[in-house]
């Protein structure tokens, strides 16, 4: 049986950091997704979740460096977990989405990437 590891997210870009040191340009950015619902008391509640996204430029990706805070994007990828050591020397587990596609929503030219 084949296992499935796929995630699709649509949200707003937070902080963007362009990474260097590899063959391909890459971007590490945060993405905010939100869900609105009424709480037990009947008042509206907006629940926001932040996701860490890693995207590499490839043959079908262009202009990743133009990604800015506030952009609305659609991301397809897979979840991966790895250990990082913080500045305090403590090892932590970190979940991130390794993007296989990033598309700008409501843009004249979509930002597309396929790995």
Residue 106 and residue 72 in contact, taking contact as beta carbons nearer than 8 Å:
yes
Q: What is the pLDDT of residue 114?
A: 47
Per the structure, the count of domains in the chain is 1
Using the structure block, give the residue that is written with the tokens 């843009």: 107
Q: Is the separation of the CB atoms in 57 and 26 below 8 Å?
A: yes
The separation between CA 53 and the C-alpha centre of its own chain, rounded to angstroms, equals 3
Q: Which residues of the chain carry a pLDDT beneath 70?
A: 22, 59-62, 107-115
| Domain enclosing residue 43, as ranges | 7-104
* pLDDT given for residue 109 in this prediction: 53
113 domain-assigned:
no
CB 115 within 8 A of CB 97: no
Q: Residue 95 burial by CB count (10 A; 0-12/13-18/19+): exposed, middle or buried?
A: exposed
pLDDT, tens only, 29-52: 999 999 999 999 999 999 999 999
Judge if pTM exceeds 0.85: no
* Tokens coding 90: 């403590």
Say if 115 falls within a structural domain: no
87 found inside a domain: yes
| CATH number of residue 71's parent domain | 2.40.50.140
């Amino acid at each position: 049986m084949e296992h499935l590891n796929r995630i699709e997210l649509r949200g707003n870009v937070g902080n963007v950091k362009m990474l260097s040191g590899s063959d391909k340009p890459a971007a590490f950015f945060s993405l905010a997704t939100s869900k609105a619902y009424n709480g037990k008391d009947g008042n509206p509640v907006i629940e926001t979740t932040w996701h860490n996204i890693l995207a590499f430029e490839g043959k079908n990706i262009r202009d990743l460096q133009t990604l800015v805070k506030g952009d609305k994007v659609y991301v397809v990828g897979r979840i991966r977990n790895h250990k990082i050591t913080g500045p305090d020397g403590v090892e932590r587990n970190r979940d991130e989405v390794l993007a296989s596609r990033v598309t700008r929503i409501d843009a004249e030219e979509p930002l597309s990437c396929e790995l």
